[in-house]
Amino acid sequence: MQDAELIREFVEEAVSHVDVVEVGLLKLEEGSGDADIINNIFRAVHSVKGTAGFFNLKNIVNLSHAMENLLGEIRNGKLKVKNEMIDVLLAANDSLKALIMDVENSDNIDYPSYRRD
């Protein structure tokens, strides 16, 4: 792993982003489809993906990228938010948090596939 201090800072920041995602998704689930909420969720996932890419954390990048793609389609109006999507995004967010919390082993951890077919 790279510099332990930078990794520790990444974990702290990423956990706060994951928390933003969870709170936002729960608000969406309650019926608040506010564009600001969707944008905040998207930005939080995008931030995790970008910083994880800097550290070459492949599983974190891949999972956050999949989440970002779905959120991007929602944000651009191509998809309407449905409870099933929120459930999948919440589960993916839990997996993302688990990867972040075990960042040193994250590339060796299997996580469920969240790709849309």
**53-100 pLDDT per residue, tens:** 999 999 999 999 999 999 999 999 999 989 999 999 999 999 999 999
Burial 23-35 (b: 16+ CB within 10 A, else e): ebbebbeeeeeee
- pTM for this prediction: 0.89
**Amino acid occupying residue 48:** V
pLDDT, residue 110, reads: 78
The architecture CATH gives domain 4-103: Up-down Bundle (1.20)
pLDDT tens digits, one per residue of 3-26: 889 999 999 999 999 999 999 999
pLDDT value at residue 117: 39
What is the pLDDT at residue 31? 83
- pLDDT at residue 3, rounded to an integer: 85
Q: Which of 44, 54, 49 is nearest to 18 (CA)?
A: 44
